[in-house]
Each structure stands twice: as structure tokens, then as C-alpha cells.
Structure 1
């Protein structure tokens, strides 16, 4: 990953009730008994999010008392550089391929709507701030 890249993993553990899947015809006696035994029992469902963010050298050193109002522009120069952004995206895609090829982790890239939400459906940001799924 390029310099000034932040990789953050966030784990969500949500208590849910197990839902038996007994409608499948290929289930044998033991499989069906297993499903019915755990039906509606509580368990912790786990979701893990991996965020890859690009920051700048100046942002790493920046203090909170230096506001965007003092700079005259909102976006740093590096973010406005299209070539730099393309290089960063290529590095992220390469990182994604390496992780996928390992076969140990399943990655799923979130869409803009999954992050921000759509209509009455909450996105990841809203779920994070409301601490709910």
C-alpha cells in the first residue's frame, strides 16, 4: 500500500436468533434434527469491515485546532490529483486480489448506497452511529 494509507478493520457482533432451514428436501434425519435443535436460539453473528483510506502527510501531522476554514480549500491537493487517486485505486485493487487469492477471506466491495443508505434504508454510516443493524 502507498504511504499514508490507513487500513482499519471493524468487527460487528450482533445477537440474532438462529433460523432453521428445514425446507430443503436433501436434509437427512441428523441434519434436520440439528437444524431444529438450534432453531430460534440466540447466537452472535459476526460482520467484519475493512476500510482502506488515503490520507496525506499534512493530515497526519494536523492538529484539531487547525480548521478547514483557515486553509481556503476543503480537499487536500493530493485528493484532487487524478493520477495519484488512480495509483491509489490500483494499489487497493492489487491488495484486494491478494486477499481474495489467499482463499482465507471473502471480500465484498460496498456500493455507495450500502455506505450512505438509500431512501428509508439505512447505510453503514447510519448503522454505525445508531449502533444497530
Structure 2
């Protein structure tokens, strides 16, 4: 017996369309932030903040963790990666360290379905409630920030 081909009918029956909209919408947000020069403005504002390196890492981690809960982690990285790298360079901090911080913090998305692909797939099965994800996600996020 031949395996089914991935025609449009099979695609529609097996893939949750909402997942595609979340990823696409998130990428549009990232592009809009960059094209409108909002990212550049945010980087300038952050560079003027009088924080030491540890304080800046802590704030970046908490902000990225929060944003990643409502925007996909890919979009968060696309939007905030350049902002944080520019800010780190202006402040004289190690850019790689801050990009790693953004990358890890964006992967600490455990609370809501729209936070990342795996979360959306698990939620789309209907076996896990948003309440369950949120309660356990808060605990996992706090642990990840403390350990990260």
C-alpha cells in the first residue's frame, strides 16, 4: 500500500490552520518592528538606561520570557535579537552573551499555546487545558529564569 501524498486535502485535515496563522502573524510583527524603526528606537532607549551588565541580563530575560508567552518564540527572536545586540554593543557588553540570553529566554515559553510550535501542537489535541498549561508554565518559567 502506498503512503498518502501530502495533497491539499490531507494537509487541511491533519494540520491545525491556527498554527500557521500564529507563526505568520508573529513574523509580520517582527518585520513591522524592524521596518518601522521601532527596534532601533527601543535599542537607543535601552542603551541610555543606567544598568550594569547583570541587571540588564535579568531585565532582558524577564521581558523576553513575558513576550514569548503571547508571541511565538521565532518572532520574538527575530524582533528582539537585533534590538538586544545593538544595545549590548552600544553599552560595551558582549553581544554573544546577550544573544544567547535572548535565545534561551525565548525558549522558556511554557504557559500558553501561542508561545511556540510544540505548545500549539499539544494544545490542539484537546487533552490539555489552557489553565493547566498556565499554572504549570508559570512554575517552569520561574525555574528556567532562575537556572538560566
TM-score for both structures, normalised by structure 1? 0.27
Larger relative strand fraction: 1
Structure (1 or 2) with the larger CA radius of gyration: 1
Give the helix-richer structure, 1 or 2: 2
